[in-house]
Amino acid sequence: MTITVETSAHAETVRLGRLLAGVLRPGMIIALQGDLGAGKTTLVKGIAAGLLGIDEREVTSPTFTIMQEYSGPVRLYHVDAYRLESAEDLEAIGFDDFVDGSGVTVIEWSDRISKALPRDTLNISIELTGDQQRRFLLQAATQQQAQDLQKLAGQLEAAGACSVTHTIET
């Protein structure tokens, strides 16, 4: 299943992340793809705020550190794979140690390491469609994720937070 969500402002992208956090569980990996400036870190800010209750301003892109860890009821591991050469570089940062099922892992520039990601990774592609406008394609890899995305779509429509343009069953 894939849902397409369109946002038209920074605050809407953060809101999407906050609502997405409500359907995330420990052990989940979320792979983000999108051009520079597409809104990957902004979405993570919303996820962190919704999952951990932290101020979105505390979340920064880990471009040079590769990974940031945020503590709360569930740990959030925020990885930026932009500077990684290949999936083999993940071993050097201890990827297997923090993707152990006790936290949620969100990976920016995941296309650079896609071969290392498990099949049950939730994929989110982000497309810049205007100055502040973004299109998010959220692709479920499991039946549980499909149910979660269906729930998320309902919450987004009810909140009027963003435009859910269509849902595709696969």
Point out the least confidently predicted range of 35-39, 83-87, 119-123, 153-157: 83-87
b/e map of 21-43 (b: 16 or more CB within 10 Å)?
A: bebbeeebbbbbbbeeebbbbbb
| Integer Cα distance of 6 and 148 in angstroms | 18
| Average pLDDT of the chain, as a whole number | 88
Task: Give the H or E element holding residue 71.
Answer: none
CATH of 2-168, picked from 1.20.120.420, 1.25.40.10, 3.90.105.10, 3.40.50.300, is 3.40.50.300
Using DSSP's 3-state secondary structure scheme, residue 15 falls into: helix
- Residue 94: the pLDDT is 74
End-to-end CA distance of the chain, in Å? 5
Domain ranges of the chain: 2-168
| Integer Cα distance of 139 and 125 in angstroms | 8
**Tokens read off for 140:** 């479920």
* Count of C-beta atoms within a 10 Å radius of residue 16: 29
**Tokens read off for 146:** 């499909």
Cβ neighbours of residue 22 closer than 8 Å, sequence gap 6 or more: 50, 152, 155
Indicate the pLDDT class of residue 50, thresholds 50, 70 and 90.
Answer: very high
Point out the least confidently predicted range of 37-41, 84-88, 146-150, 153-157: 84-88
- Residue 166: the pLDDT is 62
